[in-house]
Amino acid sequence: MKKLIENKVGQLQEILSELEQLKEDRESTFYDRSEKWQESEKGEEYAEQTTSIEDAIGSIEEAISNLENLIEL
């Protein structure tokens, strides 16, 4: 069971890394755009999608922490 959990933690860490890079790329793209675009409907939608990615990152970090706690038991 411990090996299985460790494997899943590794997979989640890979996903986490990819999502963090995606978030950074999106933030860079957002701030490279004009203020007018940022305040437009498309800009606001883009920012909301980036926030959803941030939320997913937080959830994955929590899942990793919970699984690591299981390993320690």
What's the pLDDT tens digit per position in 6-63? 999 999 999 999 999 999 999 999 999 999 999 999 999 999 999 999 999 999 999 9
Reply yes or no on whether the pLDDT at 73 is more than 80: no
> Tell me: the pLDDT tens digits for 34-43?
999 999 999 9
Query: Distances in Å between the alpha carbon of 54 and those of 16, 45, 65, 70, 72?
Result: 10, 14, 17, 25, 27
pTM over 0.95: no
Q: What was the pLDDT predicted at 1?
A: 87
Residue 20 vs residues 4, 24, 32, 54, 72: alpha-carbon distances, Å: 24, 6, 18, 8, 26
